[in-house]
Amino acid sequence: MLNYLTKRTARVFVTIWAVATLSFGLIRLLPGGPFTQLRIQLLRQGLPAEQVEERIRNLQNIRPDAPLWQQYLDYMGALVQGNLGVSIRLDEPVVEVVANAAPWTIFVVTVSTILVFAIGISIGALQAYWEGSRFDKFFTGLSMGALSVPFYVLAVILLFIFAYNLGWFPTSGRYDHSIENVWSLAYLVSVLRHAALPIAAYSLGAAGGQALAMRGNSIQVLGEDYVEVARLRGLSDSRIATRYVGRNAILPMYTGFLLLLGFRLGGTIILEQIFTYQGLGLRLFQALNQNDYPLMMGTFLVITVVLVLGVYVADLTYSRIDPRISQGDEGEAY
């Protein structure tokens, strides 16, 4: 177990390092490279030519005239110290911009992911329990229908109906700016009201997918011999449902959960743009449109770090539930 923990923790650092290196390389792929665009912008802002190089260095922690390996070391060195450079458009340190945006994205993604699994698992389990019933058929159809609606289409539909036409929910933003006191109930309500539509749009389709997966797993587990034995032993139905069927049906969904988390964090870039919800995704999108490379790479890096940490926590929890994981499944090499 301890060995597994060390290995797993080491992998977190290796992954973050690899992604940082990738982001260093990606800046160089972008049209005009990291400096051309910036140089033009700074000159246009009326900055004297000799100060331009100095500014670029401050903004991106990179000396443009240094050799590539020197630039790489400078970039990584600054990252280790928590310095992501300065946003060109906002003229603020990237770290501050990101720190302001990240909690909102994490809030939306976490709540919607919990909802996805809560809804998916309970409906899927009931469907398996009443397999072949009208309830089962109805929800199978509904799940398949929900799966074919992309979340951004659902987002636009919800926005059209509930925000623009009925006016029940706000059309954009994270909270009501007229509320001064952050610790008041009114503030909390306005936060929830602003997040309701993005969360709903982000949860419904994915919940359909999880319900189908849970239904399939549960039906398979219900046919196992140990469930039959448990019945013969006279165990109560609720105990069989939770301990025997539920647990074994949920465990295989774990890998899917990890994948889902990654795609969901990435998907916020579309979701937040539709609702103008000022989180990491919207920041990344704006930075991209404005050629704000430091902010762009900073948000990209932070989204990845959030994902890596999320998967790390999930992995450790899972290895507590299912001991087979931490023992490793190293096979013989052929």
Partner 1 sequence: MKVKRTEDDPSAETRTDGGSGQFDWRGETTTQISRWDRYKEIYEERIYKPALVAWDDSRTRWGSLILLFYVLIALVALLDLWRFPATSQAARWMQPWPWGSLAYPLGTTKSGTDLAALLIHSTPYILILVTAGAIWATGIAVFVGTVSGYKGGTVDSVLMSVSDFFMAIPGLPLVIVLAVAFSPENPVFVGVIITINYWAGLGRSLRSQVLTIRENNYVEAARTMGTSTPRIIFKDVLPNLMPYVTVNAVFAARYTIFASVGLYFLGVLPYKIQNWGVTLNLAYNSAALFNVDYAYYLIIPMLAIMLLSFGFILLGQGLDRVFNPRVRTRMAGETESTVEDDDEDTGFTEVM
Task: Mark the segment that binds partner 1 (CB under 8 A) among 49-57, 84-92, 193-201, 324-332.
Answer: 324-332
Told to check if 112 binds partner 1 by CB under 8 A, we report no
* Nearer CB in complex with partner 1: 216/246: 216
By the rule CB under 8 A, 73 interacts with partner 1:
no
In the complex with partner 1, the residue whose CB is nearer, 179 or 200, is 200
Min dist. Cβ of residue 152 to partner 1 (A) = 5
Residue closer to partner 1 (CB basis): 52 or 215: 215
How far, in Å, are 79, 98, 251, 260, 316 from residue 8 at the CA level?
22, 27, 20, 20, 9
Interface with partner 1, residue 285, by CB under 8 A: yes
How far is residue 262 from each of residues 42, 128, 196, 322, measured CA to CA in Å?
A: 36, 28, 21, 22
Which single residue is written with the structure tokens 């140990």? 226
Name the DSSP letter for residue 88: T
132 burial type by CB count under 10 A (0-12 exposed, 13-18 middle, 19+ buried): exposed
Cα 111 to Cα 36, 96, 123, 196, 199: the distances in Å are 41, 24, 18, 10, 7
Task: Give the integer Cα–Cα distance in Å for 14 and 312.
Answer: 13
As beta bridge partners, residue 326 has none
**Using CB under 8 A, which of the segments 53-61, 74-82, 207-215, 225-233 binds partner 1?**
207-215
Which of 119, 219, 230, 251 touches partner 1 (CB under 8 A)?
Answer: 219
Among positions 8, 15, 100, 119, the unique one binding partner 1 when judged by CB under 8 A = 15
Burial of 193 (0-12, 13-18, 19+ CB in 10 A): middle
Q: Does 149 engage in binding with partner 1 (CB under 8 A)? A: yes
Question: Closest Cα partner for 249 from 272, 229, 268, 226?
Answer: 226
Single out the segment in contact with partner 1 by CB under 8 A; choices: 1-9, 81-89, 181-189, 254-262: 254-262
Nearest to 30 by CA among 268, 280, 297: 297
Number of residues that bind partner 1 (CB under 8 A): 70
Residue 64 interacts with partner 1 (CB under 8 A): yes or no = no
- Of the candidate residues 61, 113, 217, 286, the single one contacting partner 1 (CB under 8 A): 217
- Asked if 103 and 302 touch (Cβ cutoff 8 Å), the reply is no
The binder of partner 1 chosen from 8, 30, 47, 251 (CB under 8 A):
30
Residue 266 beta carbon to partner 1: minimum distance, rounded to whole angstroms: 3
Q: In the structure, how many helices (H) and strands (E) does the chain have?
A: 15, 0
CA dist., res. 42 & res. 49, Å (int): 9
* Min dist. Cβ of residue 289 to partner 1 (A): 8
User: Least distance from C-beta 38 to partner 1, angstroms?
Assistant: 15
Q: Tell me the sheet residues that pair with 86.
A: 93
Q: Closest separation between CB of residue 250 and partner 1, Å?
A: 12
Interface residues with partner 1 (CB under 8 A)?
A: 11, 15, 18-19, 22, 26, 29-31, 131, 144-145, 147-153, 156-157, 159-160, 164-165, 205-206, 209-210, 212-213, 216-217, 219-220, 252-253, 255-260, 262-267, 269-270, 273-274, 281, 284-285, 288, 296, 299-300, 303-304, 307-308, 311, 329, 331-334
